[in-house]
A and B are shown apart, each in its own frame.
Chain A
Amino acid sequence: MDLLRAHCLPQRLAGHCGGASPFPFPEMAQDSVGLSSDYQFWMQKVSTWDQASTVETQQDTCLHLPRFQEFLRQMYEALKEMDSNTVIERFPTIGQLLAKTCRNPFILAYDESQKILIWCLCCLINKEPQNSGDSKLNSWTRGLLCHVLSAFRFDIREVGLFTQGLGYAPADYYPGLLKNMVLSLVSELRENHLNGFNTQRRMTPERVRALSRVCVPLITLPDFEPLVEALLTCHGCEPQEVLWPEFFDAVSEAFLLKKISLPTSAVVCLWLRHLPSLEKAMLHLFEKLISSERNFLRIERFVRDSSLPEAACHPAIFRIVDETFRYALLETDGAPEILATIQVFTRCFLEALEKENKQLKFALRTYFPYASPSLVTALLQHPKDIPQGLWHQSLQHISEMLREIVEDQTHGSYGGPSDCWFAFIHFGGWADVAAEQLLRSEADPPEAVLWLLAFSYSPRDGSQQRAQTMEEVKAVLGRLLKLLRSPGFSARDVQAAAGQSREEAPRPLECGPLIRRLLLNFLLWAPGAHAIAQEVITLMAPTREITHEITGFLDQTLYRWDHLCTTAPASRKLASELLTELRGQV
């Protein structure tokens, strides 16, 4: 939660602002003065690290790898504009810097550092050597370049000669060797995991830790995926965490930026063993949601992309994700983006849960401990699994259960109103169905459904307030239904039905979100409302926020109809048209 707060997420969500700021990234000075001082800093660092043969130098190197790469990139940008002599004038010790860098295998093993280093070396080459000094420099640079590329001291000399005899070039040899080394380490780790103490080649915890440390620069190398996976999923018998914390950070970062792909089991292990990774994953999701327009399809794509639904089949992860959502909801006062995300997430989660083939299936109450199992079971039923004629029954049932919990003074064994409301909004489909049903049936609105609607919009109302709301809604419904039966009606008529008196001068419609929703449903379903729909909406939406709300509603409705396979071509067409129109305005 602190992580969310630190990124001012609640305020940004509430403000609907576009253009999120990227993940905090240490900005390096762009001007040349800045580069010079950075140069000094890095020169010193690289000298200290040398070949990174001790634990301390390794740790320090790995911590600085991304920033150092950025520095190298900036150096290259600066160097490529100069000729060789200028380079030496400007950075007299650059030879030293580059040479020391070449000696550090951790730097060369990281991401694109070796490539950028080679480019920098290319800049040192003097195209027109004037004197022996120039030629010597060229020769030296040439040697260093070859060193980076091939004649490494890392070459295992005698084996090199042997493989040459077999017709095996280094270009073939090293990839194969790497693969075999990784395989060997993976099998050692798995043995560790399965046999615990009963294996001769058991990996000591220190060795596992050291391995996780040296892997940090190599996480994005595809050959290493099996090893990263093994490190995450295989634990020995130690009670405390063995892996190096920066390893988790690096894996988490690489995973979020899609530089590595991990199976769900490995991601679950990552998030369970290292809570900040899970927090970062949620933060990443929220950032994406803020910076893009609210659109259910897009939200679904982001959620699926995040691997959160699959991982959440593990109750511990689900609880943390759920609590994070609840926190975000509270802090943003029920922001519609968060509500939408929760709904999409829950649906994806349920799909993933169904696909899970584990023998150990957790009971529902492990995921929703704050709601009674019967309530959750009722909510879980998707409207599309129930014949439309029986929807009112389900609505009744749900409403009664909720009402019982809410009006029960003793709060029973489960949470109070806020808890059961939170459970309810996970399964948003029912509230939408309720509103739609009220307008599509000619009969008197059942009280249970009215209650449900009122509750879903204002969970914290007292019983008197709620009763008032229900009355209001009933009145509006009555008037709207009367309109339906009349031969024709105008936008003003609709306005009047919503509760504004006719005599006053035409002014924007003021009503709460609940009434607005009823009106919108009315416009979509009432035959003859098509013509005046646009006009009514214009009356309803004087502010940008309300327009936003209406587009959200239309988008959600279309999305819901797609999933329910609702065939209502006229309504659908109208909804799409209105949506396009409104989006064009913004």
Chain B
Amino acid sequence: MESLLQQLARFSEVLAVSRTPHVSTWDPATVRRALQWARYLRHVHRRFGRHARIRTALERRLQSQWRQDSGSGPAPDPGLTNFQALGRCDLVLALRLLQNRALREAVWHALLQQVFPGPGVPGADEETLQGRLAHLARRRAAVHVLRLHGYQESPVVQEDALLKTQAEGPGGLLSGLWERGPQDNFLKVLAAALLLPPPSPRPQEEETGPGTPNTPGEGHHELLRWLLGKADILAAFCRRLPAGVVAAVAGRHPELSRVYLGLLADWGRHLHYDLQRGVWVGAESQAVPWEELYGRFQSLCQAPPPLKDEVRTALESWKAQDGDFEVPGLSIWTDLLLALGTGT
């Protein structure tokens, strides 16, 4: 395992170097070795794709490495960023070397020979390097053909393919930020972003690239969509941020309020009544305690309608499902409603 990680580290270096003028010192044997190495790592990818433990270990190492690299310079080297990237590392290496003008001519010829041996080579197109390179070129042409002659950019940001693809990227902007931490800050910023006032004509921000929205209003949709798609981050969002903040965001975005209520219901159902002490307690340590649950519901009930009414209705219906008891200690929803009072 350790040797594998070392090889990974060394190959990442090679990959980084492949874009620099340093390759002028390389000879055909170096190129051959580098490609063999890449082929080996690709084999590793295939072999351990199902093997969760090894995969996670490799992924963790790659991501920590990338975090280190990206801290050091303005434009980080997008080499091996995650486990999936191993499956394509020979493609990336080959492309970089082919485009590197610093490679000596004779060495470049040798590279060409290796990468494009011609038709006699056995193996399906999905397997051979030349097949996959050609396939990539074909797909690039396809993108171009579609873009110029068929595809229309969507005015709806979250459906636009270009933006979606960037958002989905393995080091996707938001996911990358979450990975790199600090996470609490990220969550707060997220909440703040979702609570930004509705769009009004503002001067153009100096954002780079079309990936960032032009107006916050559009960005809300994209942001919210992303958040709703990430179950773990969403759970953290609802749990770690203070009740008032989440209530405010939920009040603004009904889709979030629905999910939030679902989570609250789930947390509530994990509590049971301790008869001796007369309180609701959770079985595990991570369970949301009664006080917190109450606090969250309280914030929600203080929110402006329609959220306030929605929450009430939900609580009533859960109470009814549980048996519509009026006596405390039988259904957590009864107790919550009792605690919250009939206040408006």
B-binding residues in A (CB < 8 A): 53, 58, 76, 80, 105-106, 108-109, 112, 114-115, 118-119, 122, 125, 127, 129, 135, 138, 142, 145-146, 148-152, 154-156, 158-159, 161-178, 180-185, 187, 201, 207, 210-211, 213-215, 217-218, 221, 223-224
Q: Which one of A76, A166, A214, A224 has the highest number of Cβ atoms from chain B below 10 Å of its Cβ? A: A166
Whether the pair A135, B99 counts as a contact (CB closer than 8 A) is no
How far in angstroms is the closest Cβ of chain A from B84? Answer: 8
Is B254 at the interface (CB under 8 A from chain A)? no
Whether the pair A114, B108 counts as a contact (CB closer than 8 A) is no
The residue of chain B having its C-beta at the shortest distance from the C-beta of A73 within the complex is: B119
Is B118 at the interface (CB under 8 A from chain A)? yes
Interface residue stretch chosen among B146-154, B194-202, B262-270, B306-314 = B146-154
Whether the pair A127, B109 counts as a contact (CB closer than 8 A) is yes
Whether the pair A154, B144 counts as a contact (CB closer than 8 A) is yes
A166 to B169, CA, bound (A): 7
By a CB distance below 8 angstroms, the chain B residues around A109 are 138, 141-142, 145
A223 to B211, CA, bound (A): 24
Whether the pair B134, A169 counts as a contact (CB closer than 8 A) is no
A163 to B134, CA, bound (A): 22
With A127-B109, A173-B169, A221-B142 given, is the CB distance from A158 to B150 under 8 Å? no
Is B253 at the interface (CB under 8 A from chain A)? no
B136 touches which of A129, A171, A207 (Cβ 8 Å): A171
By a CB distance below 8 angstroms, the chain A residues around B66 are 167
With A148-B137, A176-B165 given, is the CB distance from A164 to B154 under 8 Å? no
With A169-B92, A173-B165, A177-B162 given, is the CB distance from A162 to B138 under 8 Å? no
The residue of chain A having its C-beta at the shortest distance from the C-beta of B103 within the complex is: A142
By a CB distance below 8 angstroms, the chain B residues around A201 are 154
The contact string, 1 if C-beta is below 8 Å from chain A, for chain B 150-181, is 11101000011110111011111100100000
Whether the pair A122, B170 counts as a contact (CB closer than 8 A) is no
By a CB distance below 8 angstroms, the chain A residues around B146 are 178, 181-182, 185, 214
B78 touches which of A76, A127, A167, A184 (Cβ 8 Å): A167
By a CB distance below 8 angstroms, the chain B residues around A169 are 78, 85, 88, 92
A180 to B137, CA, bound (A): 17
By a CB distance below 8 angstroms, the chain B residues around A223 are 139, 142
Whether the pair B209, A162 counts as a contact (CB closer than 8 A) is yes
How far in angstroms is the closest Cβ of chain A from B65? Answer: 11
A176 to B168, CA, bound (A): 8
Whether the pair A184, B159 counts as a contact (CB closer than 8 A) is yes
The residue of chain B having its C-beta at the shortest distance from the C-beta of A208 within the complex is: B150
Whether the pair B134, A112 counts as a contact (CB closer than 8 A) is yes
With A181-B143, A207-B150 given, is the CB distance from A163 to B169 under 8 Å? yes
By a CB distance below 8 angstroms, the chain A residues around B140 are 150, 152, 154-155, 170, 174
Whether the pair A154, B99 counts as a contact (CB closer than 8 A) is no
Is B234 at the interface (CB under 8 A from chain A)? no
With A129-B105, A149-B137, A210-B150 given, is the CB distance from A177 to B119 under 8 Å? no
The residue of chain A having its C-beta at the shortest distance from the C-beta of B70 within the complex is: A167
Q: Which one of B75, B98, B143 has the highest number of Cβ atoms from chain A below 10 Å of its Cβ? A: B143
Is B236 at the interface (CB under 8 A from chain A)? no
B95 touches which of A150, A162, A165 (Cβ 8 Å): A150
Whether the pair B169, A172 counts as a contact (CB closer than 8 A) is yes
A-B contact pairs, 26 of them (CB 8 A): A105-B145, A108-B138, A114-B134, A127-B109, A158-B208, A159-B166, A159-B211, A166-B172, A167-B66, A167-B70, A167-B76, A167-B78, A168-B170, A170-B140, A171-B95, A174-B136, A176-B168, A177-B162, A180-B165, A183-B161, A184-B151, A185-B146, A210-B150, A213-B149, A217-B145, A224-B142
By a CB distance below 8 angstroms, the chain A residues around B108 are 142
A122 to B109, CA, bound (A): 9
A217 to B144, CA, bound (A): 13
A185 to B112, CA, bound (A): 37
The residue of chain A having its C-beta at the shortest distance from the C-beta of B151 within the complex is: A181
Whether the pair B143, A177 counts as a contact (CB closer than 8 A) is yes
By a CB distance below 8 angstroms, the chain A residues around B176 are 166-167
B141 touches which of A114, A146, A165 (Cβ 8 Å): A114
Is B131 at the interface (CB under 8 A from chain A)? yes
How far in angstroms is the closest Cβ of chain A from B172? Answer: 6
Whether the pair A177, B165 counts as a contact (CB closer than 8 A) is yes
Whether the pair A151, B171 counts as a contact (CB closer than 8 A) is no
Give 7 closest A-B pairs by Cβ, nearest first: A167-B171, A154-B144, A180-B161, A162-B209, A115-B134, A108-B141, A167-B78
With A149-B133, A152-B144 given, is the CB distance from A221 to B169 under 8 Å? no
How far in angstroms is the closest Cβ of chain B from A2? Answer: 34
Whether the pair A158, B147 counts as a contact (CB closer than 8 A) is no
A183 to B161, CA, bound (A): 8
Whether the pair A162, B168 counts as a contact (CB closer than 8 A) is no
By a CB distance below 8 angstroms, the chain A residues around B161 are 177, 180-181, 183-184
By a CB distance below 8 angstroms, the chain B residues around A184 are 151, 154, 159-161
By a CB distance below 8 angstroms, the chain B residues around A146 are 98-99
Is B343 at the interface (CB under 8 A from chain A)? no
Is B210 at the interface (CB under 8 A from chain A)? yes
With A150-B99, A180-B165, A210-B150 given, is the CB distance from A168 to B141 under 8 Å? no
A154 to B211, CA, bound (A): 18
Question: Given A178-B146, A201-B154, A210-B149, 12 more contacts at CB 8 Å?
Answer: A76-B119, A115-B130, A122-B112, A135-B105, A168-B170, A169-B85, A171-B88, A172-B88, A174-B143, A178-B142, A180-B165, A182-B146
Chain B residues numbered 274-327 whose CB sits less than 8 Å from any CB in chain A: none
By a CB distance below 8 angstroms, the chain B residues around A118 are 116, 130, 133-134, 137
B139 touches which of A80, A122, A178 (Cβ 8 Å): A178
The residue of chain B having its C-beta at the shortest distance from the C-beta of A125 within the complex is: B109
A152 to B165, CA, bound (A): 19
B151 touches which of A80, A185, A213 (Cβ 8 Å): A185
B211 touches which of A105, A152, A162, A170 (Cβ 8 Å): A162
With A145-B98, A171-B95 given, is the CB distance from A80 to B118 under 8 Å? yes
By a CB distance below 8 angstroms, the chain B residues around A163 are 78, 166, 169
Is B81 at the interface (CB under 8 A from chain A)? yes
By a CB distance below 8 angstroms, the chain B residues around A108 are 137-138, 141
By a CB distance below 8 angstroms, the chain B residues around A217 are 145
Whether the pair A214, B145 counts as a contact (CB closer than 8 A) is yes
Whether the pair B149, A214 counts as a contact (CB closer than 8 A) is yes
The residue of chain B having its C-beta at the shortest distance from the C-beta of A217 within the complex is: B145
Is B91 at the interface (CB under 8 A from chain A)? yes
Whether the pair A168, B148 counts as a contact (CB closer than 8 A) is no
Whether the pair B159, A53 counts as a contact (CB closer than 8 A) is no
By a CB distance below 8 angstroms, the chain B residues around A187 are 159
A67 to B137, CA, bound (A): 20
Whether the pair A159, B169 counts as a contact (CB closer than 8 A) is no
B210 touches which of A152, A154, A159 (Cβ 8 Å): A159
Whether the pair B143, A154 counts as a contact (CB closer than 8 A) is yes
The residue of chain A having its C-beta at the shortest distance from the C-beta of B74 within the complex is: A165
By a CB distance below 8 angstroms, the chain B residues around A224 are 142
The residue of chain B having its C-beta at the shortest distance from the C-beta of A166 within the complex is: B171
A112 to B118, CA, bound (A): 12
